[in-house]
Amino acid sequence: MAFNDTMRSFMDKMKLPDFTTMDWKGSTEGLRQAFYKASRSVESDVPELAEISNLIVDGADGPLKARYYAPLAAGVGPAPAILFFHGGGFVLGDIDSHDVICRRLAASSRCRVLSIEYRLAPENKFPTAHEDAAAAWRWATTRGDILGFDPDRIAVAGDSAGGNLAAYIAQEMNRTGGPMPAYQLLLYPLVQFVDIRTKKMSFQEGGFFISPNLFDYFRDSYIADEVDRMDPRVSPLFAEDDDFAGLPPAHFVLCGWDPLKDEGKAYAAKLAAHGVPVTIREHSGMVHGFMNMTAISKPARDAIADAGIVVGRALGRLEPDLS
C-alpha cells in the first residue's frame, strides 16, 4: 500500500479531520487536539535510551518546558548535542507530539537531544516563538554543567516551523556574533511565511498536514502585521546575502509531496551559493509531516534514523562514511 493510502486509512481509523480542506478559523483547540492525536505515536520498537527527563529552560520572558534525551553509552563530560524545535505552524505541537522523533534522533545520532516547548500562537504573536528559541539556544550553550553539551558541537534541528526556528538561530547568531551552531538539520523546513496559495500544486502536494488554507491560518495566527511576513526572522529565505555567508553546514530532509519542498530546495541552493556545505535527502513518496507517522510507516522511522546518522557523523559522534 502506498504511503498516501496508508495515511488516509490511518486518518479514517482514528476519525481525524481532513487537514487539507477544513477552515480552522476559531477552532485552534480542536486543531491542536486533532494534531496531537495524529502525531502521538504508540510504538513497541521505540529505541531504548539511557535517560529521558523533563527540564525547565530559560525562555525570552520566563521558563519553558523542555525534554532531555541521552542515548545509551552517552558517557560523561562534554559531548555533541542537538537542540530540537517541534513543528506545527507555530500554533500546534509540544514536546509530547515530537517525543518519538527526538528519541529516534538521539538513538541514531548517539547525541544528546534537548527538545524545546516554545510559546504558541495565536496566544503569542511573532516574534515570540523566535525570541524563545534564541533564549533557549543561549541557555543550552552555557549550561554544559547540567546538560553535558559540548558548546562547540551543538546542532540546531527542527521540522517544518521548528526547521524555521533552527534556520533562524543560525542566521541570528551570524547577524549578532553569537555562538554559532555547529550544524543545521532542517526537516521539511518552513523558510518563507508569505504565501503558497499562488503555487501550482499537485493533488498529493496538498498534503495531510499542510494546505493553502492551513498555511494561511498558521501565518495569520502568528503574524499580526502583513508587513512582517517578509521579516527574515520568520522568512529566512528572504534574508540578506550577508546573513548566509559563514553559516554552518546543513542537511535537508525534503518530501516529494510537500508544498514547501520548492522553498526548501531554494534555501539549500542559497546556502550552497554562499559556500555553505549542504546535503539533501528527498523522500519522493512522503508528505509534509511524515516523521510524525512512525506508528504506521517504517520508511518514516528509517528516515529519522538516516537523518540522525548524518548529524552524528557531522558532529563527530559517529564514524564518517568512507564508502
In degrees rounded to 5, what are phi and psi of residue 311?
-65, -45
Q: Which three cell numbers stand for residue 3?
A: 504511503
* Structural Rg of the chain based on CA atoms: 18
In terms of DSSP bridges, do strands 51-58 and 63-70 run parallel, antiparallel, or are they unpaired?
A: antiparallel
Q: Of 162, 144, 160, 164, nearest to 152 (Cα)?
A: 144
Question: How far is it, in rounded angstroms, from Cα 195 to Cα 315?
Answer: 35
Of 160, 211, 221, 235, catalytic:
160
160 tagged catalytic: yes
Question: How far is it, in rounded angstroms, from Cα 95 to Cα 105?
Answer: 14
323 tagged catalytic: no
258 tagged catalytic: yes
Of 115, 211, 258, 283, catalytic:
258
Of 109, 243, 288, 297, catalytic:
288
**Positions marked catalytic:** 160, 258, 288
